[in-house]
Structure 1
Amino acid sequence: MQILGTVLRSLARMETKPYPLDLVKGLEKYFDSPEYSDVTIRCITRDFYAHRVVLASQSKFFADAFPDSDIDPALLLEGSMVLGNANAQQNPGCQQIINLQDENPRVVENVLCFMYHADYRDTPCLNVTPPPADAILFNLQMSVAADKFEVSCLKRCAAEKLRDASEKLWNTDAFVKAIASSDEDDDDDDDDDDDEENKDDNRSDDDY
């Protein structure tokens, strides 16, 4: 419940301008397209074609992942490289590869989708009817991803979708289940943080 309240409260404080329609129309066709692609986003189940200028202009996370940045080298897969010429398009193996294999592929896909479409789908696909709580949970995940990848307009979009889904489902069992699931995720994150702190403490003790 805590994360839901935080996201909804933040919506009222946000002031972001909408994307110009012409800009969106121009970018849409390049989403996950090899045309002019110079970076590959690698998830555990699939890769996505992307374009550095699109990612870096909207996300500090991705801007920092490109050359001359202080990004953790572990994020870049071994053997990846960047060529500033047409060879990068002709030979995908020469593209920079950003490793996001620890991230939810559906979330990553929709983060990228937003950067090219100024919107994303909070339902899996047209011919699938997801559980009622799915939209709430997924928009919460997208809000968290917007913070991680530092995409401010995505943060507002996710908050608006979350508000709409919550208004439709607030008095249903699905809403209660969604809140319970989000609280469980928060507890899991806290447990992971505690585990990391314990590991650090143990390493410090070993030093002595």
Structure 2
Amino acid sequence: MDAEATKIPADSFFNSPELSDITLRCGDNKIHAHKVILAQGSPYFRQLFAQKDEDKQDEVITLDGEPEALKGMLAWLYGLEYCGQDHYEYVETIDLARYPAETKTIDIWCSTAVGSKAYVLYLLALADAGTRYNVSRLVELAMERMPYALVRAHAHRDEALVRQIYAAEAPPEVKRLFAKRFVSILKDFHCKWTGKRDRESDALLLEIPQLALDAMHELL
């Protein structure tokens, strides 16, 4: 039999019990997964499975992190993009590193102002998940898309979103990279808080010293 004729793409196995040998719990969600696919895309999973195979590891593993971002990370390992609300799209051959904004996924997330803000926070959580589970290319991709997402969300004018961003749990190196790009958006837009917004901006900078420090470093 021709091997090519029976070749099945990895995305067809995503969250499918067919040939599944591990179940991953993401919050209240369970994802049927396959060790070989996870190990291929993540040194973390490869090491985890190698260590536990000797002990016949549990069939269910609970992952730490934001559930939506965890689903996004797992989908990406299968060649899919997570678009929110349990909707997934096949990752086409477009060079996502070179054209990070030209994807159907971003258009789906950012179809509304609320969705655009959610996408910013999703990218931050996605970078966190990628860092936790050593999916380095996913961290890079999230950060490459961040500037465009910030523009779509009008983040330079949204104090509430800034608070959420700096309150989010993320590894220091991810937050530093994010902060650098966020402040660069402020500079690009020549954003100046004046008039009645002065007190709000002053309070925000006092409330979040790291934001003030990042802004000072970028503006010097």
Give the SS at the match of 1:154.
helix
* Aligned twin of 2:72: 110
Contact 1:134 1:178 in 2 (8 A): no
TM-score, normalised relative to structure 1: 0.57
Alignment gaps of 5+ in structure 1 = 1-24, 71-79, 83-94, 190-208
Of 31, 44, 55, which residue of structure 1 is paired with 2:14? 31
2:61 is aligned with 1:98: yes
Q: Distance in 2 between matches of 1:110 and 1:130?
A: 21
Q: For residues 83-121 of structure 1, what are the alpha-carbon distances to aligned partners after superposition, in whole Å with 9 as ceiling and x for unaligned?
A: xxxxxxxxxxxx632122x43221211110110125332
Q: Post-superposition shift, 1:145?
A: 1.1
Q: Partner amino acid for 2:14?
A: F
* Aligned twin of 1:44: 27
Aligned residues: 140
Moved more, 47-56 or 25-34: 25-34
Give the SS at the match of 1:65.
helix
* Aligned twin of 2:118: 134
Q: Post-superposition shift, 1:81?
A: 3.8
Q: For residues 37-57 of structure 1, what are the alpha-carbon distances to aligned partners after superposition, in whole Å with 9 as ceiling and x for unaligned?
A: 111102331211001011011
Contact 1:133 1:177 in 2 (8 A): no
Poorly superposed stretches of 4+, deviation over 4 Å: 125-130
**Matched-pair identity in %:** 25
Go from structure 1 to structure 2 and tell me whether the alpha carbon gap of 1:186 and 1:38 turns closer, same or farther (over 3 Å shift): closer
Alignment gaps of 5+ in structure 2 = 1-7, 88-107, 173-220
Q: Distance in 1 between matches of 2:139 and 2:80?
A: 11
Give the SS at the match of 2:24.
strand
Q: Post-superposition shift, 1:178?
A: 2.2
TM-score, normalised relative to structure 2: 0.54
Go from structure 1 to structure 2 and tell me whether the alpha carbon gap of 1:168 and 1:181 turns closer, same or farther (over 3 Å shift): same
Q: State the superposition RMSD in angstroms.
A: 3.1
